[in-house]
Amino acid sequence: MSVKAFELVPAVERDLLMGDKARINIECIECCGKHLYVGTNDCFIHHFLLDEVTSSKGKLTYSAQKLLHKYLGLKKPVAELRAASALERLIVLCDGIVFLVDMVTLESVPSAAGGGVRIRGVTAFCINENPVNGDPFCVEMGVLSSKRRTVQVYMVFEDRVQLVKEVNTPEQPCAVSLDGYFLCLALTTQYMILNYNTGAAQDLFPYDSEEKRPIVKRISREEFLLAAPGGLGMFANAEGVSQRAPVSWSESVIAAAVCFPYVVALDENFITIHSMLDQQLKQTLSFRDGQVLQDFEGKVMLASTKAVYVLVPLPMERQIQDLLANHRVEEALVLTEGAQRNIPKDKFQILHRRILQQAGFIKFGQLQFLEAQEHFRKGQLDVRELISLYPLLLPVSSTFTRCHPPLHEFADLNHLAQGDQEKVLQCKKFLITYLGEVRSTEVANGCREDVDTALLKLYAEQNHNSLLDLLASDNACVLADCIPWLEKYHKYFALGLLYHCNGQDSAALQLWIRVVDGELPDCTRSDLYEYIVDFLCCTSNLDLVWKYADWALRKDPSKGVHIFTKRPTFTDQSDLSPDDVISYLGKNQQALLLYVEHLVLEKRIQKEMIHTNLAVLYLERVLSLLSKSPTDEEQLTRAREKLQAFLRESSLYRARFILGKIDNCEKLLLERATLHGKLEEHDTALHILVHKLRDFSSAEAFCMWASSSRDSAYQRQLFHLLLGVYLDRSPPAAGAGSSELQMAAVDLLNRHGEVFDAVCVLRMLPDGWSLQLLRPFLNRAVRASMHACRTSQIALGLAHSENLQLLHDRLKEVRKPIFVSEKKGCHLCHNTFSEPNVVCLPGGVPVHTHCVAQRVRDSPTKKRLTNSSNHT
């Protein structure tokens, strides 16, 4: 996957270097700041001054000025040049000799002892770019000898060199690189790393120096790049471990350099550029007769045999943008993250976020929504950039403008989809998911209105189930923008919720009522009527309740009354007055009945007027059913049971008033009897039950009910009264029904015999009655009488026994002596006794008489203490 990472820019042209001398070739180069030194095969050093020139179009070029050239006086090519800028010296290797020349005059530097500063028999040398010596005016140098299997470490000073270490190697070294105490060596058959301070050695991997030219290149602190067999560029650290994957380059590579994050390799015909991040080949440049490749303080320079060039890296951001333009998202992201070390933190964060956002839009355009969402999230995308792709989703009031330069190439969603409606639908579903996730996060800060409005429009258009959830939550939807959108898609219930969110409850109710009445189409809720009732029930706005309750009651009184019966209590303002509600419901009997029932039976309001009102409503309901023809017996039975139960259980209604309404109604005799009972007119009530209704079980139940909260004597009185009604020999009881009443009397006695006074009953019974009929009653009466007698005898005996015990205890106390002495103290004042007169407290405790008197005076609420034993 190619990318243009570098441009090859000429630095020193052939004519400037050698003129018309065709046999002169470049052997080595060295760059120090703007100063370029070139060593040639004719033993000359050429000194150039390089100036960078940037054109109006931003293109970088170099202008070279030749300052000096110097013949070294030897007949061999200049093999190596290294600058020691702190010393203003060039370290030169020529004809196996290392010596120093002045960087300005190019003259050889004489030693302090006279003669030149020279090291002979050298095949290669390197400078320690991570020196262990703290002297800034000293350079550390590693030297390979042509005659010995050693590496010599020298200290190079301004006018002398000093051997500080000589390290033996197992084979003849061919190439060396030095970092701190670590020597990375290419031996005859293998690479190795050697710590010349500790002597520790680590073999790396084998290679054949006769077949392949070794490359040993320091690329960073304690890390080296090596040419391995099989055309691989291997990385190794000082511990001999490779922490990066190898790059695959040509078998004929002659030199390599690193310009992070790239590895630049030179062979006879090409320059190849690989990424250290993904090990892929990124760029290939044609370059014939390549001779030298070096990096100088981040500047990569190379030379053919005739000219010098600079490999200028393109700005990292431009490289990344080129990758993104070709939709190579993964490579762009890898390159961005790899470039972090070379970019200031603040600038990198801005760049990284933008690249992630661009990557997200590329993935979005490819419909790879999961990757797009992840890039948007990491890149902290302003979500409005995405919303703006969708026509009409942003509210009219939004002030958002797209980022410049743009993050993508799309005008809008239609441009992206090119008319493919399936793509449009997929993109809208993605936006729904994405907005739903970010609306409650920091991403939506400052643009909640835009996010919520866009989300509502999408929900409405797609008929999404979450539309109501959005409106039920805290939202910032723009009302004016959303109204036409919701109306377009017939989402009137949702529009009502939006009105409610904006404090326009009246508008919401009007809209919902039109839906229930069939004026507007919306099938969102089949129970919208019940929802309106609940809404009115829960609102604290009483004006709304009075305004719309009438519609709800006309629609369904039994449900509409819930507005009043299920209403919660509001503490911040006065709630609905029951009297006002009763007055309001007066024209709707069914709703009024349900409401008054609620007040009495559920809220337990204890007011005579309300109880009387409920009794009247129950009664009117019964009378209404009685007046219908034909009569619905089932409804009538239920209505009478309600009326009868209420008449029995409530004691607050005006019984005389209710009785006056049915005094002449022969169909409601049981109700009349109950009312007479409430008025303590028990004889009349029992007369109705016995003689008019002939309902003996109801008569007995009446006696039980009327005496339920009274004592047993009152209950006995009522049962005797009922027995008297049964035994009444007046004309209404005579005739064919007299035997029926007598049997009822017998049954009454036999069932409730324990209630009656047997003696009184025997006096009331006719003389001609058979004892056999009364046998159950008499048995129970005799048994009860005997039980009462024996129980009283037992109680009397127990009381007598208790009295005897108390007398015995008193006698024991009377006969018990009380000891008083001068050594014994009073329990109240703790002083000793000086005279025999004492008062004895319960338990035989003696105290002074004056102490007791004082205590009684001080505590008038306590009982006066007495001398229970009469001892003094």
Residue 864 pLDDT level (bands cut at 50, 70, 90): very low
Q: What is the 3-state secondary structure (H, E, C) of 203-232?
A: EEEECCCCCCCCCEEEEECCEEEEEECCCE
Neighbours of 755 (CB within 10 A): 19
What percentage of the chain exceeds 90 in pLDDT? 30
What domains can be seen in the chain, in order of their start residue? Answer: 6-314 (2.130.10.10), 315-381 (1.25.40), 383-496 (no CATH), 718-815 (no CATH), 819-872 (no CATH)
Residue 791 pLDDT level (bands cut at 50, 70, 90): very high
How far does the chain reach from its first CA to its final CA, in angstroms? 127
Q: Which of 635, 621, 622, 627 is nearest to 590 (CA)?
A: 621
Residue 730 pLDDT level (bands cut at 50, 70, 90): low
- pLDDT over 80 (residue 619): yes
Task: Indicate if the alpha-carbon torsion angle 281, 283, 288, 293 is positive or negative.
Answer: negative
Q: What is the 3-state secondary structure (H, E, C) of 227-258?
A: EECCCEEEEEECCCCCCCCCEECCCCCCEEEE
Backbone angles phi, psi at 36, to 5 degrees: -115, 130
Backbone angles phi, psi at 44, to 5 degrees: -110, 150
> Would you state the pLDDT for residue 53?
87
> Would you state the pLDDT for residue 3?
78
Q: What is the average pLDDT across 429-450?
A: 88
For residues 297 and 360, which has the higher predicted lDDT (pLDDT)? 360
Q: Which residues pair with 163 in a beta bridge?
A: 154
> Would you state the pLDDT for residue 736?
44
- pLDDT over 90 (residue 746): no
State how far Cα 560 lies from the chain centre.
Answer: 40
For residues 732 and 580, which has the higher predicted lDDT (pLDDT)? 580
* The token pair that represents 499 in the structure block: 């009105």
Q: What is the average pLDDT across 132-140?
A: 87
Secondary structure (DSSP) of 521-580: ---S-TTHHHHHHHHHHH-S-HHHHHHHHHHHHHH-HHHHTHHHHSPPPPSSS----HHH
CB distance 449 to 395 below 8 Å = yes
> Would you state the pLDDT for residue 567?
85
Mean pLDDT of the chain: 86
Q: What is the average pLDDT across 215-221?
A: 89
Greatest CA separation for the chain: 172
Residue range 634-662, pLDDT digits in tens: 999 999 999 999 998 989 999 899 888 88
Taking the C-alpha atoms of residue 385 and residue 402, their distance in angstroms, rounded to an integer, is 6
Which of 50-64, 569-583, 607-621, 663-677 is least confident? 569-583
Q: What is the average pLDDT across 771-792?
A: 84
> Would you state the pLDDT for residue 338?
78
Residue 734 pLDDT level (bands cut at 50, 70, 90): very low
Residue range 320-372, pLDDT digits in tens: 888 888 888 888 888 888 778 778 888 888 888 999 999 999 999 999 999 99
Taking the C-alpha atoms of residue 382 and residue 402, their distance in angstroms, rounded to an integer, is 10
Q: Collapsing DSSP states into helix, strand and coil, what is residue 837? A: coil
Residue 571 pLDDT level (bands cut at 50, 70, 90): low
Q: What is the average pLDDT across 738-744?
A: 83
Residue 574 pLDDT level (bands cut at 50, 70, 90): low
Taking the C-alpha atoms of residue 74 and residue 688, their distance in angstroms, rounded to an integer, is 153
Q: Which of 593, 591, 506 is nearest to 547 (CA)?
A: 506
Q: What is the average pLDDT across 533-542?
A: 89
Question: What's this model's pTM, rounded to 2 decimal places?
Answer: 0.64
What sections of 268-406 are H helices per DSSP? 316-325, 329-338, 345-365, 369-378, 383-387
Taking the C-alpha atoms of residue 376 and residue 394, their distance in angstroms, rounded to an integer, is 19
- pLDDT over 70 (residue 732): no
Secondary structure (DSSP) of 168-181: E-SS---EEEEETT
Neighbours of 430 (CB within 10 A): 17
Q: What is the average pLDDT across 447-465?
A: 91
> Would you state the pLDDT for residue 869?
41
Q: What is the average pLDDT across 174-178?
A: 91
Residue 830 gets the label, from left (phi > 0), alpha (psi -120 to 50) or beta, of left
Q: What is the average pLDDT across 708-727?
A: 87
Backbone angles phi, psi at 178, to 5 degrees: -125, 135
Helix H or strand E encompassing 142: strand 139-145
Amino acid of residue 339: A
Taking the C-alpha atoms of residue 728 and residue 751, their distance in angstroms, rounded to an integer, is 20
Neighbours of 334 (CB within 10 A): 18
Secondary structure (DSSP) of 361-391: HHHHHTT-HHHHHHHHHHTT--HHHHHTTST
Taking the C-alpha atoms of residue 76 and residue 62, their distance in angstroms, rounded to an integer, is 30
∠ Cα 40 149 117 (to 5°): 45
- pLDDT over 70 (residue 731): no
What percentage of the chain exceeds 70 in pLDDT? 95
Taking the C-alpha atoms of residue 183 and residue 195, their distance in angstroms, rounded to an integer, is 6
Q: How many CA atoms lie within 13 A of 416 on its CB side?
A: 25
- pLDDT over 50 (residue 300): yes
Secondary structure (DSSP) of 701-766: HHHHHHTTTS-HHHHHHHHHHHHHHHH--SGGG-GGGHHHHHHHHHHHHHHSGGGS-HHHHHHHS-
- pLDDT over 60 (residue 837): yes
Amino acid of residue 539: T
